[in-house]
Structure 1
């Protein structure tokens, strides 16, 4: 995913579109070389919507033991939230993307209680960040771990650390001043 021109950014999801069925909360998905950070809440106030569309976003990729996660922060809107994922659980598209040399992107999708997308933010990781993701996630595919080990380790990690405290394990941290869509 890259800028098609200076003023237009391709996004996976569009404002007004219905998001596939999901519960309230925050989680991660992947599509078209893009990490999808989905945030669903019953009600978004006008002030929150304005912040979603204009506030800076900080994204960090962390590794701690066998845990991979993104830490997402949205200035004046969302405190540090962790988005863990187990690379070996990825579908074929995700595994192939890890093995490719394509740039990765991320998209923050804000979903209302009725499943409507109310805001979308999209940005492309730079060459160095994408290379770090490719290198580190490719190594994960060859480690001898199982999903149950990941879950148990993640539970231990979150019992010891708040999401903002995980930033000390960041492989990279990047602040993005995101454009309005």
Structure 2
């Protein structure tokens, strides 16, 4: 548990915890009503770790054709990266969460080459953003698509657009700043 702004926040991964073994890169997972944006690299500098914890973060939810994705940006740390996901490939927990009215959050997890969590940032989606995610993703569950159609559409999309260019298809953009205004 962590205490932020006098509210108790449930953090999925803790610093020092082992993350399931995986390759370097960035990908999306889901647990406990939280979208996990996992970034693995062999080496993280102190500056990068500090920036995850303190820099502005922008998360955009995009839809283009049959593609759903988040675009993640961390100011002066991580350029725009796309995190596509095919709703129907989700496990029972993910499908149940989409059908529920529960609030959503996201967590950015930096993982080292030795599969250790070295930094975590947890943020909440507000009520409007959560409602939008529920509505848009519930519609995806009943569309007549399959995984191969999604893969072909995603390959076509990334051949035409860089991740930052996908922002024009944003359904919403959430900006998270720890700076006092």
Other-structure match for 1:105: 105
Q: For structure 1, which runs of at least 5 residues remain unmatched after alignment?
A: none
- CA–CA separation in structure 1 for the residues paired with 2:7 and 2:102: 22
Deviates further, 70-79 or 41-50? 41-50
With over 3 angstroms needed to count, the CA separation of the structure-2 counterparts of 1:4 and 1:50, relative to structure 1, is closer
Other-structure match for 2:87: 87
Other-structure match for 1:154: 154
- CA–CA separation in structure 1 for the residues paired with 2:88 and 2:3: 30
Which segments of structure 1 move beyond 4 Å, counting only runs of 4 or more?
A: 2-5
Return the TM-score normalized by structure 2: 0.95
- CA–CA separation in structure 2 for the residues paired with 1:60 and 1:75: 14
How far apart are 1:5 and its partner, in Å? Answer: 6.3
With over 3 angstroms needed to count, the CA separation of the structure-2 counterparts of 1:29 and 1:178, relative to structure 1, is farther
Root mean square deviation of aligned Cα = 1.8
Number of residue-to-residue matches in the alignment: 179
With over 3 angstroms needed to count, the CA separation of the structure-2 counterparts of 1:80 and 1:4, relative to structure 1, is closer
1:118-150 superposed Cα distances (whole Å, 9 cap, x missing partner): 100001100000000000000000000000000
| Matched residue SS, 2:145 | coil
- CA–CA separation in structure 1 for the residues paired with 2:176 and 2:167: 17
